[in-house]
Homo-oligomer: A and B are copies of this chain.
Amino acid sequence: MQEYSKSKLNRVKRGQNRANYDVAQINAILDSGFIGFVSYVYKGNAISLPMAYGRKDDKIYLHSSQANRMLLSLLEAGEMSMTVMLLDALVLARSGLHHSVNYRSATLFGTVKVLENDKEKEEALECFMDHMIPGRWNEIRPMHQHELDRTLVVEMTIKTASAKIRDVGVNDEPEDESLPVWAGLVPLKQVALSPISDEKLNKDIQVPNHVIEYYNMHK
């Protein structure tokens, strides 16, 4: 098992029994998610904003317009962190204290750089779209050069990371287990609904296989 090294930055302090540093588990969380919360410091304040991302090996790809305040700020700092969380269930206990949620989360720390080379930018954007919905990149209209030029593509290299996972049942105090209070889980899941074709679409164009496969995997 390959693990990230632990430092003050990524060591999980609370709930250590739920923490791990396993690269494969962290990658599995990243690949199940799609939106990460990227945080940055703006005039002394920490702000976090959601961004879609792609992953390849230890690289995370983000993109935006060339004038994105957050990405420009991260590039100036040269470092960033990102957190991804997948919510799996409400955990409803007999006491308030033991209410919880089941979830999988990963927090990444690493360095960032801007990609300048067109080929690298396109490969990063392909990785990004493949992460959003596999198989789509080769079916859409190729990018125009002026579109590539106005797109800021940022590559994060993951230097260290941690995961927290809670995936067990209710954990009440033993003396509470006989109370006449219902306890249990309400599983939560993000699902896809039926694709809705653009109203301007030529009626001869069918929903393509990659969209049907996405829907079938997430419905």
Residues of A that sit less than 8 Å from B by CB: 8-9, 13-14, 34-35, 37-50, 52, 64-65, 67-69, 79, 81, 83, 85, 87, 90, 92-97, 99, 101, 103, 105, 107, 109, 125, 129, 132-133, 136-137, 139-141, 143, 147, 151, 169-170, 172, 176-202, 205-208, 211, 214-215, 218
For the complex formed by this chain, how many copies does it contain in all? Answer: 2
A43 to chain B, nearest CB (A): 8
Contact of A96 among B140, B192, B198, B211 (CB under 8 A): B140
A117 to chain B, nearest CB (A): 17
Question: Residue among A83, A141, A176, A195 with the most chain B CB within 10 A?
Answer: A141
Q: List 19 A-B contacts (CB under 8 A).
A: A8-B43, A14-B67, A37-B83, A41-B46, A48-B83, A50-B103, A90-B192, A94-B141, A95-B140, A97-B151, A140-B181, A180-B205, A182-B211, A183-B197, A183-B198, A185-B196, A186-B211, A187-B192, A188-B192
